[in-house]
Each structure stands twice: as structure tokens, then as C-alpha cells.
Structure 1
Amino acid sequence: METTSVEELTTTREWATAIPVIQQLWAETDASAIREWKDEPDYRLFGMYADDELVGVKRWGSCKAHLSNCRF
């Protein structure tokens, strides 16, 4: 049986794991730009895990001013 969980991604390593998932929606955004989001106030990232594998992400907080559409 598959085990799922949702956890806030807070470490640099967790964010690095999330970058390929985020780039499925934001393909034009490079990894360094995504890493910068971590330093924004009020920006939190949550990961959904299935059997300890990151399968999805969800942001919480305000979007960067230059992003016209926050899709995740």
C-alpha cells in the first residue's frame, strides 16, 4: 500500500529535490532563480511524498512581483 505525506520543504537539499518538479510547470525558469524564491519573506514550499518520493509541490505565500501567474 502506498504511503503519502505532505511536508514543508525547508532545507537546501529539499528545495534542490523540488526544482525538477517545479520546472515541469515553470520550464523557462532556471534552477538558480527557483532557489532564490526560498529567501523571499512569506514564501513557503510544501512537498507531497508517495513512498518517500517527492511527487508534487505546492507553494504558500505571495508570488514574486515578476511572476504574472502563480500556477502552483
Structure 2
Amino acid sequence: MTAAAAQTFTVIGLTLDVDCTELLIAAVLPGPVADQIELLSTSEADFTRWAEEFDAPDPDTAAALAYERCRRWDNEN
């Protein structure tokens, strides 16, 4: 069996403002469209809207990479 080729996915969700390690994913879209997504101004009391692109073989892997990115962000800041 051969490995699936990586493609670009855009993950859209909300991060918890308290520590930014919690990510609630709303969608995983095929393609590099993060720069085309206009995140509306934040109106939630405890969350920030979030979108980022990831290269992965499938949407589930892109979502897992997004979760890992948020966990690393908290350790970096």
C-alpha cells in the first residue's frame, strides 16, 4: 500500500482565549483558502475565530495537526 499524497486543507474553528490550547473545529476545507476567509470580529466572550492551512493526506490528519499546533502555541508563548 502506498501513502496518500499530501494536499492542503484549511482548518477553521475557535480557540479558547484562556490558554489558546483548546481548539473547536468548525470545518476542514480542501485547498489553501485561509487567506480568502474573512474572520468576523470576535463577539464571543471566551473564544477567538481561527483559520490556518495544513498539508496532510486527509481532512482528519489536517484536524489533528491543527490541534497539535494549538497545543504547541501555548508552550511557545
**Do they fold alike, i.e. is TM over 0.5?**
no
Higher strand share: 2
| Structure with greater Cα Rg | 2
TM-score normalised to structure 2 length: 0.28
